[in-house]
Amino acid sequence: MTSNGTSSNNKDGVLMQVEHLKKYFPIEKGFFKRTVGHVRAVDDVSFQVYRGETLGLVGETGCGKTTLGLTVLRSYQPTDGSVEFNFRDQGMVDITELNRKELKPYRREAQMIFQDPYTSLNARMTVRDIISEPLIINKLCAADEIDDRVAHMMQVVGLDNRYMRRYPHAFSGGQRQRISIARALIVNPSFLVADEPTSALDVSIQAQILNLMVDLQEEFGLTYLFISHNLSVVKHMCHRIGIMYLGRLVELGTRDAVFENPQHPYTQALMAAIPKPDPDQPSGLESAPGEIGNPANPPSGCAFHPRCSHCMDVCREVRPEFIKVGDDHYVACHLYDEVEAQT
Ligand code: SF4
């Protein structure tokens, strides 16, 4: 078992190994911008991403899932911890140690699909220029090949390539998200962070984009880190799911394990809060009363303890570590300390 409590028997299939990752943002005050504290957006998180899978990251707004996605992409420099990426030609490399120049190969391997296709595309660039920009920046294509590469990629994502010289405003939300996906895929990446990729779209369009992502994953062998607060979407898309609370992972397991046998009280509350077709059925929100804590001053011990109906004395003092509770299923909760003691 690795330090993150996840299985190591799939080491060859590991695309990314995240160990004790932290991302703190300083809180500055006064004229001299003195640092008076830190927002612990990601606070000691460890997990693996297997090649070809979709790993979902779920949690309430403010739990740190977007910061985690941006940190593993090295859009943010981590405060501490490591992110090892399994390059096709070099094997595992800790990308937190790389300088700007050394990061270039990683910038091709790891791309992002943003949440809002209305703001993420430059309105002054044509679709051709938007999609081809990563090719040009990385010097991956001769100038006379660009049109063909863009036309092909537009076709792959289901766009009519006759419109490559139009501007983003001429396209619908769903088409704009397809443009974003084409831009991400044009450099032939192996890993994509998708941050709520359909939350800004009409419900009728969301399924089309999600199904496109599934098809592209099969066609190109892609690996996704899929960030969402929508459990129905996560259930549709993900092979494994990590539940985040206040910058920490509290449960990690296969889709079936997490949905059918949630172990952490917070996961159980999230599952119970999924809207039910019967309006007389109670919502599960009351099982986790209160609001998510302050990441600048998280509760001691288990960060969920002020909201947990099972809270014990130990929960207020000792931060729970990941405990294996089933096949590829881990939970950070003192309720399961005995399970670990028996193994
Ligand atoms: Fe509740 Fe304690 Fe488990 Fe935290 S560690 S979720 S407070 S039982």
The residue ranges of every structural domain in the chain are 10-123+189-342
Question: What's the 309 CA to ligand 1 centre distance in angstroms?
Answer: 8
Question: Can you read off the two tokens belonging to residue 322?
Answer: 């990941």
Question: What's the 263 CA to ligand 1 centre distance in angstroms?
Answer: 11
Nearest atom, ligand 1, residue 305 CA: 7
Task: Identify the pLDDT of residue 141.
Answer: 87
Nearest atom, ligand 1, residue 250 CA: 6
Between CA 268 and CA 61 the distance in angstroms is: 17
Pocket-testing residue among 249, 251, 310, ligand 1, by greatest number of atoms within 8 A of Cβ: 310
DSSP H helical ranges for 87-170? 104-109, 127-137, 146-156
Say if residues 217 and 138 touch (Cβ distance below 8 Å). Answer: no
Task: Identify the pLDDT of residue 3.
Answer: 42
- How many Å separate Cα 245 from the centre of its chain? 14
Say if residues 282 and 274 touch (Cβ distance below 8 Å). Answer: no
Task: Identify the pLDDT of residue 338.
Answer: 76
Nearest atom, ligand 1, residue 334 CA: 5
Pocket-testing residue among 250, 270, 311, ligand 1, by greatest number of atoms within 8 A of Cβ: 311
Residue 273 amino acid letter: A
Question: What's the 333 CA to ligand 1 centre distance in angstroms?
Answer: 5
Pairing of strands 80-87, 91-94: antiparallel
Q: Please report where in the chains the tokens 């396209």 appear, as a residue.
A: 171
Nearest atom, ligand 1, residue 308 CA: 1
Question: What's the 306 CA to ligand 1 centre distance in angstroms?
Answer: 9
What is each CA distance from 267 to 176, 217, 251, 271, in whole angstroms? 33, 27, 7, 6
Task: Identify the pLDDT of residue 154.
Answer: 96
Question: What's the 293 CA to ligand 1 centre distance in angstroms?
Answer: 14
Q: Which residues pair with 226 in a beta bridge?
A: 56, 194
Question: What's the 39 CA to ligand 1 centre distance in angstroms?
Answer: 22
Say if residues 166 and 129 touch (Cβ distance below 8 Å). Answer: no
Task: Identify the pLDDT of residue 5.
Answer: 40
pLDDT digits (tens, 9 = 90+) for 78-101: 999 999 999 988 899 999 999 999
- How many Å separate Cα 106 from the centre of its chain? 17
Burial readout 263-288 (b: 16 or more C-beta within 10 A, e: otherwise): bbbbbbbbbbeeeeeeeeeeeeeebb
Between CA 63 and CA 227 the distance in angstroms is: 11
3-state secondary structure of 254: strand
Q: Is 77 exposed, middle or buried (0-12, 13-18, 19+ CB in 10 A)?
A: exposed
The phi, psi pair for 122, rounded to 5°, reads -70, 115
Nearest atom, ligand 1, residue 302 CA: 4
Q: Which residues pair with 253 in a beta bridge?
A: 241, 329
Pairing of strands 191-195, 110-113: parallel
Question: What's the 1 CA to ligand 1 centre distance in angstroms?
Answer: 23
Positions of the chain with pLDDT lower than 70, given as ranges: 1-12, 276-289, 340-343
3-state secondary structure of 193: strand
**H-run or E-run covering 265:** helix 265-272
Q: State the Cα torsion 211-221-103-186 to the nearest 10°.
A: -60
Q: Ligand 1, atom 5: nearest CA belongs to which residue?
A: 333
Ligand 1 contacts (CB < 6 A) are: 264-265, 302, 304-305, 308, 310-312, 315, 320, 333-335
Between CA 343 and CA 330 the distance in angstroms is: 14
3-state secondary structure of 55: strand
Q: In angstroms, how far is the first alpha carbon of the chain from the final one? A: 13
Nearest atom, ligand 1, residue 309 CA: 1
Determine the CATH number of domain 10-123+189-342.
3.40.50.300
Q: Kindly state the greatest CA–CA separation across the chain.
A: 68
